[in-house]
């Protein structure tokens, strides 16, 4: 069996998964809008997640602030589970709980506790019969089918698209005007691997690297870093390009390259501007983006879905790097598909 065969097969399902979710996009937005409109105005939106789901939640945070202008946060679960702080201040908030399996104990427990204090809970999960789904007022089932490989792929991009729909429901603003074209764009990315293979060849000798993005693509930088960590064991870290300039750029040099993710949004020029700074430090860089001539490109999109296309490129990069290094990413050492944090 080829290394990463299961991961590759699940990645290849993404156009179909996203097409089915796109068909339900308006309905998801409408269900969230109804929940938000039921009662007093929602004072803010909180996201509850771990792992890859937390990276998807980061896109949700950006999307809600862009679409609705509401305060948002990523919940710190340990404040409740370890420090015993009850979430009474979240009464009336919209709380979006994400778990691909719907079985992560702390996410299920906290979703119930938020609901008990009067938060309006939305569950985003691949199992609509799960404990998490039962704890929520509205459930957004991903419909991605079974995901077996340890690295989450199709469920992550499905979560991201679902959260764009949730944000649209909160703000009443469509965030993916080119939604119908998304599945074909993802398919085109999956069919184009030449640039990814060249990037993997450049990165293979290095055991630490930075992955950088900004704005709506920042979540893809975090997710790409996670995919590289869990599949290859490389010390990869995801950064906002703004934060990266504030000091972490110092980690890059001849032995530590950077992967730069840049779409076509107003924040992406800042990421592209890092290439000269990195070169001055002797650091190689790979520019993964939506502009002609980028090292690893994707076709320009509507901006909001750039994050999904960048995330797929990150999955491809992790898979290609694993194969170059002789690692099977389907079964990373010491990791399980479902992580039962409490």
Alpha-carbon gap, residue 161 to 158, rounded angstroms? 5
For every residue of 212-250, DSSP letters joined together read: EE-GGGHHHHHHHHHHHHHHH--EEEEEEHHHHHTTGGG
Say if CB 135 and CB 149 are below 8 A apart.
no
Q: Which residue has the tokens 């097969």?
A: 9
| SS3 of residue 159 by DSSP | helix
Q: What is the dihedral of CA 47, 53, 55, 60, to 10 degrees?
A: -40
Task: Output the pLDDT for position 80.
Answer: 86
In sequence order, which residues have a C-beta less than 8 Å from that of residue 251 and are 6 or more positions away? Answer: 208, 210, 237
Give the CA radius of gyration of the chain. 19
Measure Cα distances from 86 to 65, 95, 115, 236, 251 in Å: 25, 14, 12, 34, 39
| SS3 of residue 153 by DSSP | coil
Alpha-carbon gap, residue 178 to 97, rounded angstroms? 26
Task: Output the pLDDT for position 171.
Answer: 93
> CATH class for domain 5-175?
alpha beta
Task: Output the pLDDT for position 342.
Answer: 54
- Residue 282 CB coordination number (10 Å): 12
Selected from 3.30.300.30, 3.40.50.980, 3.40.190.10, 3.40.50.10490, the CATH number assigned to the domain covering 181-325 reads: 3.40.50.10490
- Residue 37 CB coordination number (10 Å): 11
Both tokens of residue 185? 């764009």
Where, residue-wise, is CATH 3.40.50.10490 in the chain? 5-175, 181-325
Say if CB 15 and CB 190 are below 8 A apart.
yes
Task: Give kind and range of the element (H or E) at residue 285.
Answer: strand 285-289
Task: Output the pLDDT for position 314.
Answer: 98
Alpha-carbon gap, residue 122 to 35, rounded angstroms? 9
Both tokens of residue 132? 């998490």
Q: Which residue has the tokens 């995801």?
A: 238
Task: Determine phi and psi for 149, rounding to 5 degrees.
Answer: -60, 145
Alpha-carbon gap, residue 53 to 59, rounded angstroms? 10
The model carries a pTM of 0.95
Task: Output the pLDDT for position 260.
Answer: 98
By C-alpha distance, which of 107, 108, 36, 115 is closest to 76?
Answer: 107
- pLDDT one digit per residue (tens) for the chain, 342 residues: 577 899 999 999 999 999 999 999 999 999 999 999 988 899 999 999 999 999 999 999 999 999 999 999 999 988 888 898 889 999 999 999 999 998 888 999 999 999 999 999 999 999 999 999 999 999 999 999 999 988 999 999 999 999 999 999 999 887 877 899 999 999 999 999 999 999 999 999 999 999 999 999 999 999 999 999 999 999 999 999 999 999 999 999 999 999 999 999 899 999 999 999 999 999 999 999 999 889 999 988 877 899 999 999 999 999 999 999 999 998 866 565 555 565
């Amino acid at each position: 069996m080829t290394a990463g065969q299961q991961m590759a097969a699940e990645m290849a399902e993404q156009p179909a998964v996203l097409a089915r979710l796109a068909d339900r996009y308006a309905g998801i937005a409408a269900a969230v809008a109804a929940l938000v409109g039921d009662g007093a105005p929602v004072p803010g939106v909180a996201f509850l997640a771990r792992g890859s789901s937390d990276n998807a939640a980061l896109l949700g945070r950006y999307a809600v602030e862009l679409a609705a202008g509401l305060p948002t946060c990523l919940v710190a679960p340990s404040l409740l589970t370890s420090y015993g702080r009850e979430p009474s201040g979240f009464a009336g908030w919209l709380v979006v709980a994400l778990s691909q399996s719907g079985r992560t104990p702390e996410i299920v427990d906290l979703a119930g506790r938020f609901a008990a204090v009067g938060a309006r809970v939305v569950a985003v999960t691949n199992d609509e019969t799960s404990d998490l789904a039962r704890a929520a007022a509205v459930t957004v089932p991903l419909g991605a089918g079974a995901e077996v490989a340890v690295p989450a792929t199709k469920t992550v991009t499905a979560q991201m698209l679902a959260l764009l729909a949730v944000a649209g429901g909160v703000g009443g603003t469509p965030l993916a005007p080119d939604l119908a074209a998304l599945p074909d764009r993802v398919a085109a990315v999956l069919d184009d691997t030449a640039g990814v293979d060249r990037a993997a060849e450049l990165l293979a000798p290095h055991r630490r690297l930075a992955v950088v993005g900004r704005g709506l693509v920042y979540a893809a930088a975090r997710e790409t870093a996670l995919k590289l960590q869990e599949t290859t064991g490389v010390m990869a870290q995801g950064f906002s390009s703004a934060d990266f300039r504030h000091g972490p750029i110092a980690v890059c040099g001849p032995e530590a390259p950077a992967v730069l993710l840049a779409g076509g949004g107003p924040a992406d020029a800042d990421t592209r501007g890092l290439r000269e700074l990195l070169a001055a430090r002797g650091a190689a860089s790979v520019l993964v983006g939506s502009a002609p001539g980028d090292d690893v490109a994707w076709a320009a999109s509507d901006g909001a879905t750039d994050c999904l296309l960048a995330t797929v490129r990150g999955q491809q990069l992790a898979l290609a790097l694993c194969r170059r290094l002789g690692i099977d990413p389907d079964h990373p050492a010491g990791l399980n598909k479902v992580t039962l944090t409490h």
